[in-house]
Structure 1
Amino acid sequence: MKRIKRIWRRIKRTFIVLFIAQLLYIVALKWINPPITITQLVSLIEEHGLEKEYVSLGQMSVNAGLAVIAAEDQLFPDHNGFDWKSIQKALDYNQRKPGRVRGGSTISQQTAKNVFLWQGRSWIRKGLETYFTFMIEKIWGKKRILEVYLNVAETGKGIFGIEKAAQTYFGKSAKDLSQSQAAAIAAALPNPKKYSVKPMSAYVSARSKKIVQQMNFLRPDRDIQAIIGGK
């Protein structure tokens, strides 16, 4: 019985230490960039390579942030990390067509997954994603979430972040990305290993044109402008 109590105390202490450690890590990442993510490690293990270069939101063209908001999460300035209507639509779609999978993740959820977790669709991962999404919304705020997302998102085989994507595909820095170039990078985000920006696949070409239309529609929005740094 004493042995069981000792084991239980150790488990509790370990849990408390891990909880404090992850909380401190979340707080630290409000100001420092993630050194490496699980997805980036996997890219190295699978021999896809790892190319990344972190830049601040101010060092990116406003088109970069606007493009991913237009493509991935148009309600990003307004929700608390979760777009419940999109999530419910995705669940309904997946029930009707179990052979296909549609996601309803916000930029906040994708950032939480990319920084703290692994790729996959298990309920454990989804539960952890919910926790980390809640925490970064409370601690980081929208600007930092968007900045981190644009720096850690996989944008091609072994390529991570908007800066490396801009350099690789267009031979320029992220701060110089045009509207159509930013839209092309955003168009590939659902599956950057499958959808090619250069040479541009038919999917990316078609989707990027729709993203540009949405960018033009969303650009005057004051809440979006406050996040992406436009005037």
Structure 2
Amino acid sequence: MQREARSRDERHKPRRLRALIRFVLLGMLLAPPAAILLFRILPPPVTPLMLIRLAQGHELRKDWVAYADIAPALAHSVIAAEDNLFCEQTLGFDFAALRDQLDAWWHGERPRGASTITMQTAKNLLLWPGRDPVRKLLEAWLTPQIALLWPKQRILEVYLNIVEFGPGIYGAEAAARAFFGKPASRLSGREAALLAAVLPNPLARSAAAPGPLLRQRAATIERRVTQIRPLLACAQRPTA
């Protein structure tokens, strides 16, 4: 009897293993869309990057504010600095820029990157920093889900509330108060451009004490905002 029972267990093991694998894969498939749908409504309480920085000894300064309470100049400056075609994208990718980067890689040149605001939102919200292939693949999988499940202003709202503007400083409100002593709703065009200018390297650049190169980049961003004004329709707040 015991041998028969063990034999039945042996026969059922592959079936149970396949069921477990299916369960895990189904969870991996459904968990990100569920989280994305949840965060379409609720503010994310914390992000992986925030936890990593805490472990590295940085503080955690953040204060969620609604999109309507962030000066329009900041959304405009971030689009001008990082993703001019944000409002035109359907799946969250800049396919023309991706083709250019693939072509550069094919010809032995170093790709400069083609990350969009939606891609950066996916990374900042759910993933870890770095350039390893696994993270990049996960980012590419999550990006179209966010692009399809969230309206454009929600993407901007979440991004501007969780992005790192300095060591331990996350989001527009915390950054505006830390660097300029005012709420995010009162940021000027120059202050917004300075914040956008630090985003490529917020641990090394400071909007509160900008050097010549950072001031020059901020001035370029301000000029670009006026040049791409027709491309900023999705970032405009509705008028009363």
TM norm. shorter chain > 0.5: yes
Amino acid at match of 1:186: A
| Contact 2:87 2:234 (8 Å CA) reproduced | no
Q: CA deviation at 1:202?
A: 2.5
Relative to the length of structure 1, the TM-score reads 0.92
Letter in 2 for 1:228: Q
Q: Which runs of 4+ in 1 moved over 6 A?
A: none
CA spacing shift, 1:88–1:59, aligned 2, 3 Å: same
Identify the residue that residue 96 of structure 2 maps to in structure 1: 85
| Distance in 2, Cα, partners of 1:164 & 1:208 | 20
2:206 matched residue in structure 1: 196
- C-alpha distance in 2 between matches for 1:168 and 1:91: 39
Give the match's secondary structure for 1:29.
helix
Aligned to 1:167: 177
Q: Return the alpha-carbon distance in structure 2 between the equivalents of residues 126 and 199 of structure 1.
A: 33
Cα offset for 1:20?
2.7
After alignment, is 2-11 or 44-53 more displaced? 2-11
Deviates more, 1:136-145 or 1:8-17: 8-17
SS of the residue aligned with 2:165?
Answer: strand
Q: Is the 8 A contact 2:87 2:233 kept in 1?
A: no
How many residue pairs match? The answer is 227
Structure showing greater radius of gyration is 2
Match of 1:225 among 201, 209, 233: 233
Gaps (5+ residues) in structure 1? Answer: none
The answer to whether the 8 Å contact 1:151/1:162 transfers is yes
1:198 and 1:96, CA in 2 relative to 1: closer, same or farther beyond 3 A?
farther
Give the % identical residues: 36
Distance in 2 between residues matched to 1:159 and 1:106, nearest whole Å:
21
**What TM-score, normalized by structure 2, do the two folds share?**
0.89
Counterparts of 1:24-173 in structure 2, within 5 Å, are 24-80=34-90, 81-93=92-104, 96-98=108-110, 102-173=112-183
The aligned residue for residue 19 of structure 1 is 29
The alpha-carbon distance between structure 1 residues 230 and 213, as it changes in their structure 2 partners (threshold 3 A), is farther
Cα distance in 1 for partners of 2:214, 2:238 equals 25
Root-mean-square deviation (Å) = 1.7
Secondary structure of the residue that 1:30 maps to in structure 2?
Answer: helix
- Residues 89/200 of structure 1: CA separation in 2 closer, same or farther (3 Å cut): same
Contact 1:195 1:203 in 2 (8 A): no
Greater CA deviation, 177-186 or 80-89?
Answer: 80-89
| SS of the residue 1:155 aligns to | strand
CA contact (8 A) 2:61 2:169 kept: yes
Structure 2: which 5+ residue stretches go unaligned?
A: 1-10
